[in-house]
A and B are shown apart, each in its own frame.
Chain A
Amino acid sequence: MSELPRDGPPTPLPSSQPSQKSTTRAERREIQERQRAAKAAQKQQQQQGQQQGQASSSKPKAQNAPQKKADSGRPRASSSAVPALKDMSGAASGAADSEGRGLRIFSHFGLPKTLGHQVKGDIHPVIIRLGLQFSEFKICGANARCIATLTAFKTVIQDYTTPAHNTLSRHLMTYLSPQISHLVAARPMSVTMGNAIRQLKLEISGSDIDLPEQDAKDALCQKIDNYIRDRIIFADEVIEDLAVKKIKDGDVILTYARSSLVEKILIRAHALNKRFSVIVLDSRPLLEGKTLLRTLTSTTPPIPCTYALLPALPSLIKEVSMVLVGAHSLHTNGAVYSRAGTAMVAMLAKEHSVPVMVCCETYKFSENVMLDAFGKNELAPSKFSPLEAPKPHSNLEVLDPLYDSTPPTCITAVVTEVGLIPPTSISSIPLALGKTSL
């Protein structure tokens, strides 16, 4: 912020891009405030105009409805400015600078969170601990994070007591929401966590009011256990059975990074005495493939493995007989949101007519459509960054997106617990839509 005292030249056109560079941060903030105020005022005027138009026909009761809308319009108008302001406070610590065109394109990426030491409100210690584990990437991966979250919520629910003049089914969720937002503050929520929490909310609101508190809590914990068992653990076992059938003797299986499910499938196939070899591809920022490599080579006899980084893929793809990858989530249009790099592996495999199998439990289904991974993504925290933090105001910035989305055209089949299905068919599976009870 050494710039601040210096007076920038007066800017004739506050909105023109090049001149923005020369203005100081304070000035820019001022401009933003002004624009926001102007926008809000405009909105207000429009609303008033509407109001006047309607006034003749509407009853007096309807009169405060547009007023309310105008109020809610204000935060909407300013919502675009809020992340920018947040960026600036982040930039003050030296990581990023909001100057230049670049950051505005990438600004919607979830900025790597600085550690959630500042605890707001009544957060259960288990959740605080989990939040730290999330933000430090000690617990990483869609399944692991979902199981950890649900297990932590069990503790939270057991430690919860309904306050007087309240019922558990109505109050427990208000108690849980700050816990959830604390986890989200530590790291953006995974689709799996979102699905599980939605189901949990449903169960909480549906729990019997007349049940004694301890019984209701036990019932909820039981349901959480069932969810973990049915949707994750049993599902994984079924997927293992299905996927192992596709592995034949002499196959060369290529996998990218590390999926807990793929790891289990390979170990199971090895235990069934199938003779195959594995190519583990890997890439920064997380280099998770090394962990997978360690597991695969620790079997007896070790599975023959080849390890390479992503750019080496074109040289290896000719030998591959099947690509087996995991997923973070699966979307209605069949796009698979997974660890960054998966899309390129699938793309090249398709080009060489190598089947691409995505192993994915149905609870990873998300009802959104995902067209590309640019709109929604997450950046790896700076501890995975290759360079020492670049100087503020330098033109260099380091971006480490964690995910990308594989278009359905590159995927041969998705292995789910309900069978091998084409990626676009996931939305026709009732289980994926949460049509079963927890």
Chain B
Amino acid sequence: MASDPQMIASQRIVEDLASRLRRRQVVGSRQAALETLLVLRQVVSRARFSNVDQLVDVIRSVGRRLVDAQPKEHSVGNTVRKVLHHIREEYHTATEGSTPAPTPTFSIAKFVSQGQPRKQQTVQKTDVTKVPLKENDPDDPDSFARTLKPVLMEAIQDVFDELETVYDNISKNAKDHIHSDEIILTLGKSQTVESFLKAAAHHRNYTVIVAETAPSYGGREMAKSLSSAGISTFLVPDSSIYALMSRVNKVILGAHAILANGGMFATSGSLLAATAARAYSTPVVVCAGQFKLTPLWNLYHEYGALDFGDPSTVLGFDEGDLVDKVDVVNPYYDYVRPELLDAFITNYGDHPPSSIYRLLKETYDDEDNEL
């Protein structure tokens, strides 16, 4: 198989992305998701398979390779899971004619174990259903792939389009969440939050307080960008979040990954802001694309679940006399418990943390949770 030039080519693409992920040349969940999707599209278009299981295996192995390269970039795994889900869905739609689908019966037990019943009937791909799918055809092993591939490409394109428009879809309801003369607190640099706030600024006149979020100080960029969009912006150090919280109407955060229990990984500093908000009963709203939903649990918040960054931004080498005497810690992410969050605003609508698991069931197939 390895001698197949097509396979070698797709392997090279996978390795390329894996190494870029490992070197942190691809950062940001959306960027990683987009890159993963591009790779998957190449892999699917080049893959040779004669039944759906072979295809799933190919994609899973690619997914495993990428996730191992950067296990903390959860959107990579999520994208793979999502593509797998779509492949199965398309496969089911295509084979529907030959094997009659069992009439869906609704029950709580079924909902818990299987999730929302799939709306297979609504998707009617007329040109596909007419061609009978032949799995494991010994005469023509490629016939299965040939019939299914165009549909799969279309499905991947759908995922792609969704990623492209994710910011617009999240921001479209911004004006329902931000009201006139409110004071919003946000921190760090999140493109999702940035576009959300800018969209709200078209309709509302409000004030944003941006915590600068040491040591990356992404908040400074964020504040510059927001103020240039005409939003009245205050840049404050992280230390003053608590002092200002009494005047803040809403805390809007970005997420790195949304976990199955409704908690999230987010830029370090988010937990402090969320806890301070809880002390003042200020609502905490999270803006995140649906590709950040991760079928993962982090109940105990192990130290190892963290990702640590470069300590030189905390204590630089200009403090030469100190550098070799002290430990310097610079974690990238905080784990924020679901109890501290009030709502997730996603491109699929607004959800409370308690219904995240349902969304997960709808979005991914259970068998893909472990890739």
Contact = CB atoms under 8 A, between A and B. Distances in A.
**A, B in one complex:** yes
B269 interface: yes
Contact of A340 (B224, B231, B237, B303): B237
A315 B238 contact: no
A294 B325 CA distance: 9
B51 interface: no
Nearest to A373: B243
Given A311-B213, A315-B303, A293 B326 contact: yes
A344 B329 contact: no
Contacts of A318: 303
Interface in B285-319: 303, 306, 314-315, 319
A309 B188 CA distance: 14
A344 B232 contact: no
Given A293-B326, A305-B326, A318-B303, A387 B235 contact: yes
Interface in B27-84: none
A312 B331 contact: yes
A339 B236 contact: no
B212 interface: yes
Interface string A396-412: 11111101110100000
A305 B327 contact: yes
Contacts of A407: 279
Contact of B326 (A102, A307, A311): A307
Contacts of B246: 372, 374
B239 A283 contact: yes
Nearest to A387: B220
A285 B223 CA distance: 17
Interface stretch (B105-113, B270-278, B350-358): B270-278
B139 interface: no
A106 B243 CA distance: 12
Interface string B254-269: 0000000000000111
A75 interface: no
Contacts of B330: 308-309, 312
A56 B286 CA distance: 68
Interface in B198-221: 205, 207, 209, 212-215, 217, 220
B237 A285 contact: yes
A311 B234 contact: no
A314 B238 contact: no
B322 A290 contact: yes
Contact of A101 (B181, B276, B279, B328): B181
Interface in A305-331: 305-316, 318
Interface extent on B, as a size class?
35 or more
B212 A399 contact: no
A285 B207 CA distance: 22
Nearest to A285: B237
A334 interface: no
B242 to A, nearest CB: 4
A92 B267 CA distance: 38
Contact of B328 (A285, A304, A306, A386): A306
Given A343-B243, A386-B212, A311 B237 contact: no
B252 to A, nearest CB: 17
B279 A347 contact: yes
A307 B327 contact: yes
A283 B242 CA distance: 13
A420 interface: no
26 contacts: A18-B205, A102-B207, A284-B212, A284-B237, A305-B327, A306-B326, A306-B329, A307-B315, A310-B239, A310-B272, A311-B267, A311-B268, A312-B314, A315-B268, A315-B331, A343-B276, A344-B239, A347-B276, A377-B243, A386-B212, A395-B226, A395-B227, A395-B233, A399-B234, A401-B236, A407-B279
Q: Which 6 A-B pairs have the closest CB atoms?
A: A341-B239, A311-B269, A396-B227, A404-B243, A283-B239, A395-B227
Interface of A: 18, 100-102, 105-106, 280, 283-285, 290, 293-294, 297, 302, 304-316, 318, 339-341, 343-344, 347-348, 351, 372-374, 377, 386-387, 390, 394-401, 403-405, 407
